[in-house]
Amino acid sequence: MQNRSYESVMARRKEIMKASVGVDYDKYELEGIAFDYEALMRDTSYPIEEIRKIQSETGVGDTPLIELKNITRLVRTISEPGKGARIFLKDEATNPSGSFKDRRASVSVARAKELGYKGVIAATSGNYGAAVASQSMKRALKCIVVQECYDSKGKGQPEILEKARACEAYGAEVAQLTVGPELFYYFLLLLEETGFFNASLYTPYAIAGIESLGYEIVEQSNRMIGMNPDYVLATHAGGGNLTGTARGLRKAGAKETQVVGVSVDLSGLHMASNRDFNRKSFTTGHTGFGIPFAVLPDRSDVPRNAARALRYMDRYLLVTQGEVFYVTEMLARLEGLQRGPAGNTSLTAAIALARELPEDKTIVVQETEYTGAGKLPSAQLTFARENGIEIVRGDPLALDAPGKTISIPESHSQIAYKEVNMTDLRRSYIKQLIRREVTLIESDYEYLSEELKTDVAKVKELVKEVSANVDSEN
Give me the CATH number covering residue 23: 3.40.50.1100
- C-alpha to C-alpha distance for 261 and 357, rounded to whole angstroms: 17
Do 69 and 136 fall into the same domain?
no
Cβ-contact 406, 321 below 8 angstroms: yes
Order of strands, edge to edge, in the sheet holding 65-67?
65-67, 86-90, 362-365, 231-235, 258-264, 315-319, 418-420
Residue 467 domain boundaries: 422-473
Q: Where are the alpha helices (DSSP H) in 252-343?
A: 287-295, 321-335
Residue pair 306/211 in contact by the 8 Å Cβ criterion = no
Q: Verify that 224 and 323 share a domain, yes or no.
A: yes
pLDDT score, position 474: 64
On whether the CB atoms of residues 224 and 65 are closer than 8 A, the answer is yes
What span, in angstroms and rounded, lies between the C-alpha atoms of 92 and 175?
27
Q: Are residues 126 and 189 in the same domain?
A: yes
Query: Would you state the torsion angle of the CA atoms of residues 96, 159, 368, 113, taken in this order, to the nearest 10 degrees?
Result: -30
Angstrom distance (rounded) from CA 242 to CA 257: 13
Could you tell me the strand order of the sheet in which 142-150 lies? 173-178, 142-150, 119-123, 197-198
Residues 384 and 331 in one domain: yes
Cβ neighbours of residue 462 closer than 8 Å, sequence gap 6 or more: 423, 426, 427, 430, 452
Q: CA of 367: how far to CAs of 71, 285, 473, in Å?
A: 16, 12, 42
Mean pLDDT by groups of 10 residues along the chain of 474 residues: 84 87 92 95 92 98 98 98 98 97 97 96 89 97 92 84 91 88 86 95 95 98 98 97 98 98 94 82 90 94 94 98 97 97 95 98 97 90 94 96 96 97 97 89 96 97 92 73
Residues 106 and 125 both lie in one domain: yes
Q: Is 1 inside any structural domain?
A: no
In a domain, 390, yes or no: yes
Same domain, residue pair 144 and 67 = no
| Alpha carbon distance 221, 254 (integer Å) | 11
d(Cα 17, Cα 40) in Å, to the nearest integer? 15
Main-chain phi, psi angles of 31, to 5 degrees: -65, 145
Inside any domain, residue 195: yes
pLDDT tens for 418-432 read 999 999 999 999 999
- Phi/psi at 80 (5° precision): -65, 155
Phi, psi of 406 (to 5 degrees): -110, 120
Note whether 62 and 43 are same-domain residues.
no
Q: How far apart are CA 276 and CA 283, in angstroms?
A: 12
* Number of domains observed in the structure of the chain: 3
Beta strands in 57-171 (DSSP E): 65-67, 86-90, 119-123, 142-150
> pTM of this prediction?
0.96
> To the nearest 10°, the Cα dihedral for 337, 288, 417, 231?
-70
Regarding whether 229 and 157 lie in a shared domain, the answer is no
Other CB atoms within 10 Å distance of the CB of residue 373:
12
